[in-house]
Amino acid sequence: MVRGVMDVAVGTRQPRERIGFARKARAYVALTKPRVIELLLVTTAPVMILAQGGIPNLWLVLGTLVGGALSAGAAGAFNCYIDRDIDRVMKRTSTRPLVTGELTDREALVFAWVLGVVSTLWLGILINWLAAGLSVAAVLFYVLIYTLVLKRRTPQNIVWGGAAGCMPVLIGWAAVQDSLNWVPFILFGIVFLWTPPHYWPLSMRYRADYASVNVPMLAVVRGRTVVGLQVVLYAWATVACSLLLVPVAHMGILYTAVAVAAGAWFVIESHRLYSMAIRHGEVHPMRVFHSSITYLTVLFVAVGVDPLLPFVRF
């Protein structure tokens, strides 16, 4: 099916035209999936503050963020290269540079390798080799395990594939401490459990797209009631994991209040989606999708601000 999709898509590609420098540069940036990078960096900087117990060296923060962005960009570019066949069919991905012809397949592959190598050397030489090793592990997991193995074979693709998106919290912690303990792994768990209720609503919105290329997202192989229930369960698990950080990392009143309030809002939005699904009414999955982004952002801002306040720690 995928081979047939690729043949049709390639056969209908528009003739190549001359691409100007500015447009080419924008295409390379788009290849890195910058919106994903933004979200990953939101979880990195606050973790570095928590690891330091205050404001870390700003050059260390900047170096880690740059290295992390390059690494995430490499993963995104590899993903676009591997998924170029289905991207040429799905409406959601119709503007990606390999679909529009702004970049050739070779240009994308070379760019991905260059970013991967540069990010590894950058983090290894300027930060530390533990952070660099974690960065390499994240790229390999996202490309080899998620993109090549899980995505087109199992509806649990997002659950396990989401582990790659959790690595920035470990990288941020390792950049400061050059070691790992239970705190960064709890933060890892928060992002890991958050990923399914974040992405599954998106897959509900674009169910027809995924079905057209035989990608077995949960929304494709199961009904929206099942998806809604899973979103609720994972939302609850995410909030529970976020509260584990209070005793383990000795978080203060600010983080605790934010984790409870933002978590309650996230859970309520998830229950609203499930309620509409079981009533067979009109569902608005993108509301939960956007809510999940706000929730994670607010939670990690609290992770970074809480250590800076002179409140009594729990």
CATH number of the domain that residue 244 is part of? 1.20.120
List CB contacts of 141: < 8 A, sequence separation 6 or more.
161, 163, 164, 167
Q: Give the number of other Cβ atoms within 10 Å of residue 78's Cβ.
A: 25
Decide if 10 is inside a domain.
no
Which CATH number fits the domain that encloses residue 172? 1.10.357.140
Same domain membership, residue 226 and residue 146: no
Residue owning tokens 């209720």: 197
Same domain membership, residue 205 and residue 155: no
Same domain membership, residue 171 and residue 129: yes
Number of domains in the chain: 2
Decide if 17 is inside a domain.
no
Same domain membership, residue 68 and residue 51: yes
For residue 258, give its domain range: 181-314
Which of 179, 209, 227 is where one domain is finished? 179
What average pLDDT does range 83-105 have in this prediction? 92
Q: Are 90 and 153 in contact (CB under 8 A)?
A: no
CA dihedral sign of residues 227, 230, 234, 235: positive
Minimum mean pLDDT among 54-63, 89-98, 187-196, 260-269: which range? 89-98
Span 192-247, pLDDT tens digits: 999 999 999 988 888 888 888 988 988 888 888 899 999 999 999 999 999 999 99
Decide if 306 is inside a domain.
yes
**How does the average pLDDT of the chain come out, rounded?**
90
Q: Are 296 and 191 in contact (CB under 8 A)?
A: yes
Same domain membership, residue 107 and residue 41: yes
Which of 148, 179, 210 is where one domain is finished? 179
Same domain membership, residue 296 and residue 196: yes
Q: How confident is the model at residue 15 (pLDDT cuts 50, 70, 90)?
A: very low
Decide if 4 is inside a domain.
no
Decide if 169 is inside a domain.
yes
Decide if 202 is inside a domain.
yes
Same domain membership, residue 307 and residue 213: yes
Round to whole Å and give the CA distance between 265 and 228: 16
The structure's pTM equals: 0.89
Same domain membership, residue 156 and residue 207: no
Q: Can you give the pLDDT at residue 314?
A: 52
Which of 179, 211, 231 is where one domain is finished? 179
User: What is the SS3 assignment for 178?
Assistant: coil
What average pLDDT does range 143-165 have in this prediction? 90
Same domain membership, residue 170 and residue 188: no
Minimum mean pLDDT among 32-36, 264-268, 278-282, 283-287: which range? 278-282
Decide if 164 is inside a domain.
yes
Same domain membership, residue 170 and residue 191: no
Same domain membership, residue 160 and residue 258: no
Decide if 19 is inside a domain.
no
Same domain membership, residue 74 and residue 155: yes
